[in-house]
Structure 1
Amino acid sequence: MDPRKVDISRLESLPQDLLGIIVSKVAAASTDDYINCILSCKELGASADDERVLQKLNLAPLVKKPLLSIQYLPLMKKTLAENNPDAHYIKGIIMYFLLTDSDTGLHHLGVSANAGKLEGIYLYAIILLCRGRTVEGKKYLNQLKWTEDTTLVNNCWKKIKI
């Protein structure tokens, strides 16, 4: 905020902490809206590296195509440092299936699952079951209430399969 400006907008007069909260809510809802938001003015753009924003940033386009995340390494590092569930899911997929570092990949998928990322829960549970850790795998599948209704599990499978 420039104190020499005579006409300060209401947005510019808000504290940076509050702007960080606002931008984090936008970032959680839509990647496109987040980009438009931080490009709209300097005050909102300054919140792009806010820890709350990086933690909640919706990385849905990269979740659908994890290999694209290689083009966004600085963003991935920042979001991983802030424990973004989408970032851990993406990292887990790449480490487990592409780089064949199954222990590290499983760790990241577990972090994603524990944060409540549905696809992370599903994939983590299935991998645990395949590795013979049935009790733990079933515990994660039960979070998806698969015994009552398989709709959620089927949706997770469809998203992952793509």
Structure 2
Amino acid sequence: MKKIKIHKINNIVDLLPDDLLSEILSRVGQTFSTQLGVARLVCKAFFKQVEHPLVYQRLSFDRLAVGSWGIPQMVYLYHRCLVNKNPNAIFRRGLLFYFDGKYTLDGLRYLKQASNCQLVDTVYVYGLVIFASHDVNEKDISLKILN
């Protein structure tokens, strides 16, 4: 009688497709961004997929406590989010550049780019910034944005 080999599955997550894992992790980052570091420790598959561009694109900055991370980790995270066109990161860069005074036009460009993602905060701030400008044509545009 032949013996049947039974393959033991060490980790059920390894059976899931990478696209599904990155989708799951991007939703974790969208709502509980602080838990991505914990998710990275769950298994090798999660560790690998946390670096997927979709995760950085959807990452929310709302619950990130800057003090809980070291500066290099925050810079890395912020840079990865910018590279992957995260609307929150683009919005923050726009605010920094615009209100710094040195890069006002670049800041306005970033704010406009972030507002195109239709996040309520970004659209509102962009509309207010345009409304505060001295150009009469721009004020009409800002009123359309704010309504």
Q: Which amino acid aligns with 2:100?
A: L
Q: Output one character per residue of 1:22-77: Cα deviation in whole Å (capped at 9) or x when no partner.
A: 11111111112323222222211111221111110111146x98xx9x75222222
Tell me, which stretches of 5 or more residues in structure 1 are unaligned? 143-162
Q: Report 1:135-150 matches (<5 A).
A: 135-142=140-147
Which residue type is aligned with residue 58 of structure 1?
S
Contact 2:22-2:52 at 8 Å conserved across structures? yes
Aligned partner of residue 60 in structure 1, secondary structure: coil
Greater Rg over alpha carbons, structure = 2
- After superposition, residues 1-162 of structure 1 pair within 5 angstroms as 6-61=8-63, 72-98=74-100, 100-131=102-133, 132=135, 133-142=138-147
Q: Which runs of 5+ in 2 are unaligned?
A: 1-6
Measured on the aligned residues, the alpha-carbon RMSD in Å equals: 2.3
Alpha carbons of structure 1 residues 140 and 39: separation in structure 2 relative to 1, 3 Å? farther
Amino acid at match of 1:109: L
CA distance in 1, matches of 2:27, 2:17: 16
Alignment check: 8 A CA contact 2:34 2:63 kept: no
Task: Report the secondary structure of 2:102's partner residue.
Answer: coil
**Which structure dedicates a bigger proportion of its chain to helix?**
1
Structure 2 length normalisation: TM-score? 0.80
Which string of whole-angstrom CA distances, capped at 9 and with x for unpartnered residues, describes residues 57-110 of structure 1?
Answer: 111146x98xx9x75222222211211110011101111113531111111111
One-letter amino acid matched to 2:98: Y
Distance 1:58 1:31 in 2: 6
Aligned length: 134
Q: Report the AA paired with residue 146 of structure 2.
A: L
Deviation at 1:136, TM superposition (A): 1.3
